[in-house]
């Protein structure tokens, strides 16, 4: 018996060895191609960083564009002391934080009601929310633009060229998806939990704030990150609805003010873009798992 | 008599019971309705209404004073630029989605192949293009494609390839907008496919190995069928988003050279907002609806199917 096992092991061993060498080669090739793809994916951000450390003279000189000979932080110093750029940054921050708050206030109660309190039309509304998420902003910006103009004619309140018009527009992009993923998270909470709470005399509001929100906290964080990154990155609405420099948010501000006519100050443009990309990147670096959970939730939670 | 009182007692009891039930039911649904009311209002006022308003706008003349029926559409059909935009939008979306799906699939497999303790790091690094706001990362590409200082052309010059007019030539410019779109979108596919790969039970691979399946057979009969739903949903979703894309073309080429790289969204912006012809802009953007509807129907079908399987 023992003999049989040991001969078996001897017979198997060479084959196992060759398989493991196959596996080692597969691994080497995997790393090789991963490095190639990583170069492809990381070249633009790295090149942004390289350019942001250069002076205008070095940029316009015919030297190796992939190397910094005289690194300087002048571009950063200049932008971070420029009132204009700080204004864009502040506008973006205010808009994004407010939109996240508005989104959560609308979508969390709605998701709770749609996942737990069945009422007439709730299934239809759930599907409707998902379909709304599929309607792109590029379809709606022209009628919305006209609606704002009509609203101005009727009430005298001008919405166009005010940064806070974005607080009305951005929730159309964030609320449907956040509601949709929160429905998924709430639906995964066992029914016994809220039934027990209701039997103990908790009201629906208490069930939501004391049980659902704490238990579904990971989903809540994922939805918050989604809402923030979407509002931070949105480009079409601010481009169409705001024009005065004091009303611009970052993406539009960088493109319209740092590019003056045909003069491209690339050092500053790259610095501005890199600093503008920093908040989502920092959030991503620290909360990567939640970020990815939010990303995959759309398709895997349905 | 006795019988009657008993009956009426029972009726009263039943009545009380049902009315209190009804009341709680009503209360619950009222609360639920109030909780969803902001959502319903938001969708109705800022999504559904504008969508129909766009149809109404498309039937007006430029000053929006007169009903002109279909003449905006007929005008578009006669313009060469319009047909170019239709072509360019379709080519842009189809090519970009195919490449995103292929690259995403390959990279997901590569990440899945390596030991699991390094996977987190690689996945985190490879998702960066998706995290940077598109308007900002496209600026980096714009600088990489610069006509006189292109860093790619600098490398090409060193290895003896003649410089490429990235954004100056129509076909190269079309290639560039697709390339940037693939660069931004492929990591999303990678993450979705990686999640799908992780959800395939290990036993299936073991069973396939015992049955003597080779690499291709394992892929064909285990991996792809298990991932099929996510592949479909991701591709359809990406088709919708890519077809309606605005940021990349707007920042990279603004539709140039000679309006040859416009897609529906950027051309609608050019005509409607910059050109001041809102009805015509609305008509242009409405041409996105058929493709978006088809995509949405298929996604919905897949998601409902998924829900039934679970």
pLDDT digits (tens, 9 = 90+) for B243-299: 888 989 888 888 778 888 888 889 889 888 888 888 888 888 888 888 888 888 887
pLDDT band at B305 (very low <50, low <70, confident <90, very high): low
Neighbours of B304 (CB within 10 A): 12
Count structural domains, chain B.
2
Q: Is B63 contained in some domain?
A: no
B/e letters for A47-69, b = 16+ CB within 10 Å, e = fewer, are: bbebbbbbbeebbeeeeebeebe
User: How near does any CA of chain B get to the CA of A240, in Å?
Assistant: 7
Cβ-based burial of B196 (10 A; exposed 0-12, middle 13-18, buried ≥19): buried
CB A254 within 8 A of CB B134: no
Q: Is B122 in the same domain as B49?
A: no
Q: Is B284 in the same domain as B196?
A: yes
Q: Is B111 in the same domain as B40?
A: no
β-sheet bridge partners, residue B67 = B60
Residue contact A135–B292, C-beta within 8 A: yes
Contacts of B255 (CB under 8 A, 6+ apart): B249, B261, B262, B266, B267, B270
Q: Is B156 contained in some domain?
A: yes
What is the average pLDDT across B52-70?
81
Selected for mutation to probe chain B from A67, A138, A169, A198 (highest B CB count within 10 Å) is A138
* Structural domain containing residue B53: 1-57
Selected for mutation to probe chain A from B57, B111, B131 (highest A CB count within 10 Å) is B131
What is the average pLDDT across B105-110?
89
Q: How far apart are CA A173 and CA A137, in angstroms?
A: 7
Neighbours of B65 (CB within 10 A): 7
Give pLDDT, residue B23.
63
Domain ranges of chain A: 2-52, 74-300
DSSP 3-state of A82: coil
Residues of B in contact with A265 (CB under 8 A): none
Q: Is B261 contained in some domain?
A: yes
Give pLDDT, residue B307.
56
Q: Is B49 contained in some domain?
A: yes
With a pLDDT cut of 90, the percent of chain B lying above it is 11
Q: Is B162 in the same domain as B242?
A: yes
DSSP 3-state of B172: helix
Give pLDDT, residue B1.
42
Average pLDDT, chain B: 82
Closest CA to A136 of B71, B177, B257, B93: B93
User: How near does any CA of chain B get to the CA of A3, in Å?
Assistant: 25
The domain spanning residue B294 has which CATH number? Answer: 1.10.3720.10
Residue contact B278–A142, C-beta within 8 A: yes
Give pLDDT, residue B19.
61
Selected for mutation to probe chain A from B99, B103, B136, B238 (highest A CB count within 10 Å) is B136
Closest CA to B104 of B230, B216, B291: B230
Closest CA to A302 of B189, B31, B192: B192
Give pLDDT, residue A194.
80
Q: Is B69 contained in some domain?
A: no
The CATH topology of domain A74-300 is MetI-like fold (1.10.3720)
User: How near does any CA of chain A get to the CA of B166, in Å?
Assistant: 15
CB A114 within 8 A of CB B46: no
pLDDT, one tens digit per residue, over B25-50 is 556 777 777 888 889 899 888 888 99
With a pLDDT cut of 70, the percent of chain B lying above it is 89
Q: Is B276 contained in some domain?
A: yes
Q: Is B209 in the same domain as B114?
A: yes
Q: Is B47 in the same domain as B115?
A: no
Query: How far is the CA of A264 from the CAs of A261, A270, B176, in angstroms?
Result: 8, 11, 20
Q: Is B142 in the same domain as B222?
A: yes
Q: How far apart are CA A238 and CA A158, in angstroms?
A: 15
Q: How far apart are CA B286 and CA A118, in angstroms?
A: 35
DSSP 3-state of B101: helix
Beta strands A263-264; A259-260: pairing state: antiparallel
Residue contact B38–A110, C-beta within 8 A: yes
Q: How far apart are CA B112 and CA A12, in angstroms?
A: 27
Q: Is B62 contained in some domain?
A: no
Stretches in chain A below the pLDDT threshold 50: 1-17, 300-302
Residue contact A142–B285, C-beta within 8 A: yes
Give pLDDT, residue B97.
92
Q: Is B45 in the same domain as B180?
A: no
Torsions phi, psi of A181, nearest 5? -75, -30
Question: Across the interface, which of A110, A233, A251 has its CB nearest the CB of B36?
Answer: A110
Q: Is B110 in the same domain as B237?
A: yes
CB B185 within 8 A of CB B235: no
What is the average pLDDT across B118-130?
87
Give pLDDT, residue A97.
94
Q: Is B109 in the same domain as B187?
A: yes
- Mean pLDDT lowest among A204-218, B17-31, B46-60, B111-125: B17-31
Q: How far apart are CA A161 and CA A247, in angstroms?
A: 7
Query: How far is the CA of B159 from the CAs of A42, A46, A268, B163, in angstroms?
Result: 22, 22, 30, 11
Q: pLDDT at residue B151 above 50?
A: yes
**Angle between helical axes of A137-155 and B49-57 (0-180°, round to 10):** 80
Q: Is B208 contained in some domain?
A: yes
Q: Is B14 in the same domain as B88?
A: no
B29, B57, B85: which is the final residue of a domain? B57
Give pLDDT, residue A18.
54
């Amino acid at each position: 018996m023992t003999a049989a096992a040991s001969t078996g092991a001897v017979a198997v061993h060479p084959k196992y060895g060759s398989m493991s060498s196959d596996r080692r080669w597969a691994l080497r090739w995997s790393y090789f191609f991963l490095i190639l793809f990583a170069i492809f994916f990381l070249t633009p951000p790295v090149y942004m960083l390289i350019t942001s450390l250069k002076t205008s003279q070095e940029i316009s000189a015919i030297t190796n564009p992939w190397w910094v000979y005289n690194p300087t932080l002048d571009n950063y110093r200049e932008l971070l002391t420029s009132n204009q750029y700080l204004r864009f940054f502040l506008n973006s921050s205010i808009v994004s934080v407010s939109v996240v708050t508005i989104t959560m206030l609308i979508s969390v109660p709605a998701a709770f009601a749609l996942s737990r309190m069945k009422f007439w039309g709730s299934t239809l509304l759930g599907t409707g929310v998902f379909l709304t998420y599929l309607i792109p902003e590029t379809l709606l910006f022209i009628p919305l633009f006209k609606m704002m103009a009509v609203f101005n004619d009727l009430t005298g309140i001008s919405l166009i060229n005010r940064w806070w018009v974005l607080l009305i527009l951005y929730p159309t992009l964030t609320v449907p998806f956040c509601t949709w993923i929160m429905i998924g998270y709430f639906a995964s909470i066992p029914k016994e939990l809220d039934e027990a709470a209701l039997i103990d005399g908790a009201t629906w509001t208490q069930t939501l704030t004391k049980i659902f929100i704490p238990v579904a906290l990971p989903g809540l964080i994922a939805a918050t990150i989604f809402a923030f990154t979407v509002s931070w990155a949105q480009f079409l609405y601010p481009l169409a609805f705001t024009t005065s420099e004091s009303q611009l948010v970052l993406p539009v501000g960088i493109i319209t003010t740092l590019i003056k006519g045909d003069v491209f100050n690339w050092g500053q443009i790259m610095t501005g873009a890199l600093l503008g990309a920093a908040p989502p990147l920092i959030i991503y670096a620290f909360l990567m798992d939640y970020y990815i959970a939010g990303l995959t939730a759309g398709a895997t939670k349905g | 008599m006795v019988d009657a009182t008993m009956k009426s007692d029972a009726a009263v009891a039943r009545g009380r019971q049902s009315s209190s039930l009804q009341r709680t039911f009503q209360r619950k649904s009222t609360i639920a309705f109030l909780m969803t009311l902001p959502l319903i209002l938001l969708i109705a006022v800022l999504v559904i209404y504008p969508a129909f308003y766009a149809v109404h706008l498309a039937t007006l003349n430029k000053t929006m004073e007169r009903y002109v029926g279909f003449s905006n559409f007929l005008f578009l059909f006669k313009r060469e630029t319009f047909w170019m935009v239709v072509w360019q939008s379709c080519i842009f979306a189809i090519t970009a989605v195919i490449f995103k799906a292929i690259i995403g699939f390959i990279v997901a497999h590569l990440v899945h192949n390596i030991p699991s303790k390094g996977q987190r790091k690689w996945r985190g690094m490879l998702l960066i293009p998706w995290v940077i706001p598109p308007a900002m990362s496209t600026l980096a590409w714009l600088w990489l494609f610069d006509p006189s200082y292109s860093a790619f052309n600098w490398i090409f010059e060193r290895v003896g390839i003649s410089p490429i007019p990235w954004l100056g030539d129509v076909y190269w410019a079309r290639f560039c907008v697709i390339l940037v779109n693939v660069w931004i979108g492929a990591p999303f596919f990678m993450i979705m496919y990686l999640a799908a790969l992780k959800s395939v039970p290990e036993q299936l691979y073991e069973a396939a190995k015992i049955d003597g399946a080779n690499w291709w057979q394992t892929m064909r009969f285990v991996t792809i069928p298990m991932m099929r739903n996510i592949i479909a949903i991701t591709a359809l979703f990406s088709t919708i988003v890519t077809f309606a894309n605005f940021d990349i073309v707007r920042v990279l080429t603004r539709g140039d050279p000679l309006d040859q790289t416009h897609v529906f969204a950027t051309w609608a912006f050019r005509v409607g907002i910059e050109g001041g012809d809102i009805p015509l802009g609305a008509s242009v953007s409405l041409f996105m609806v058929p493709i978006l509807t088809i995509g949405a129907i298929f996604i919905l079908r897949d998601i409902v199917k998924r829900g039934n399987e679970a």
